[in-house]
Amino acid sequence: MTSKSAPLAAAARASGPLTGDVTVPGDKSLSHRALIFGALSVGQTTIDGLLEGEDVIATADALRAMGARIQKLDSGQWQVDGVGVGGLHEPSQVIDLGNSGTSARLLSGVLASHRMTTFVTGDASLVKRPMARVIEPLSRMGAEFVARSDNRLPMAVIGSDELLPIRYEVPVASAQVKSAVLLAALNTAGKTTVIERTATRDHTENMLRAFGAELKIEPDPDGGDAITLTGQPELTGRPVEVPGDISSAAFPIVAALIRPGSDILIRRVGLNPRRAGLIDTLIEMGGSIERLNAGMRAGEPVADLRVRASDLTAVTVPPDRAASMIDEYPVLAMAAACAVGRTEMPGIGELRVKESDRLARVAEGLADCGVRVEAGPDWLAVEGDGGQPEGGATVATALDHRIAMSFLVLGMAAKQPVTIDDAGPIATSFPGFFDLMNGLIAGEPALRTRQPQP
């Protein structure tokens, strides 16, 4: 869980070139799902490359509390002995999910289809995040929820093993909402269909098939896809290899692009087409990013990425690309601050309901660092001149790991160091971030942490 101790401030200064060969932590989305599907399977699942960040550990701890046996082996693999679909039991204590919105939304789907009452909470950031988007469809299926005002945590989930299958159109492009409904449908008799008009990451669908579920995806007559799951299958445990997380790779990628003379290689990065929008955008901006040694892991395309320093030029990011890179807009904004021209990012209102209001945090932080920026309800525009941003600010991260890492990347390119108020939440998704980034720089570390003065 995210530390409740005093905030750990950090700062980044302009560095020399980034060089070297690194591997980023395992994909967070796949890590959550591998644990969940392993727990709901019959038999044993082994997971290589699991992200050992606080968010994923929150999911593991919750599943342990409900009867799944999950352990880390001496080999570094993780082993899950599952209880089968519908086989979890009521936890004896409140489930604390720390900072993990993914855990909260996906596990809500799991809990909804078990005849038990579960109490769920989280840290100061998670309890502010709305849960209505999963409560609404799961309530339609027959689960009950008792939550704080505006459908926020802490929350009681009163599940049932007699849920009704539904046909549900996801009102916003959200893989978490889609996944919550599909996870509830696993222990629901009959066929449940989810309609999504805009394609979102399909890790849940890929993993459902891999574990043995009956899943059909067809074009919907009104546009988009109809995803139909036949309930109450017997899932079977299996080996899972988790590739590197493209959302974590985004930080060394952007840092290398904006630091002159940089040339790095990032090994075995997951490049699911529904997750790789940042790569497409950076290449359109003139970024030198090569895919090498392409292959497959856990049913997902992977490749090594060679990234070299580049002169970036502003672009307008197509709004229909947002679903494939929603978590990467904060660090894209840092690249835009170092590009020539006005980079426009429309259709990103979803950023306002992440771990923080990321759109506001990015706009305010960039302005404090001397970057010209404008923001609206669902858009952001960043203007750069191709030189070094001024920097010199202390940025309030609002307990958001991606805001923290993004502004540290900006500090590596700015004229003056950039400080963040709390680096603690970085461990939720990228343990080892400081060591990896500093390890790419010859000489003095560019990133440092420090306890704030009383």
Name the nearest CA neighbour of 404 among 3, 8, 6, 4. Answer: 8
End-to-end Cα spacing for the chain: 24
Do 360 and 377 meet the contact criterion of CB atoms below 8 Å apart?
A: no
b/e string for 412-450 if b means 16 or more Cβ within 10 A? bbbebbbbbbbbbbbbbbbbbbbebbbebbeeeebbbee
Integer CA distances (angstroms), 11 to 65, 394, 439, in order: 38, 9, 16
Q: Which residue of the set 27, 123, 327, 422 is catalytic?
A: 327
327 carries an active-site annotation: yes
The answer to whether the beta carbons of residues 328 and 362 sit under 8 Å apart is no
Continuous segment of H or E residues that includes residue 139:
helix 132-141
Q: What is the dihedral of CA 288, 289, 293, 295, to 10 degrees?
A: -160
Q: Buried b vs exposed e over 70-90: b needs ≥16 C-beta within 10 Å?
A: beeeeeebbbbbbbbbbbbee
The β-bridge partners of 341 are 384
Q: Which two tokens stand for residue 34?
A: 């591998």
Q: Are 427 and 436 in contact (CB under 8 A)?
A: no
CB atoms within 10 A of CB 149: 5
Cα separation, 91 vs 65, in Å, equals 5
Active site residues: 327
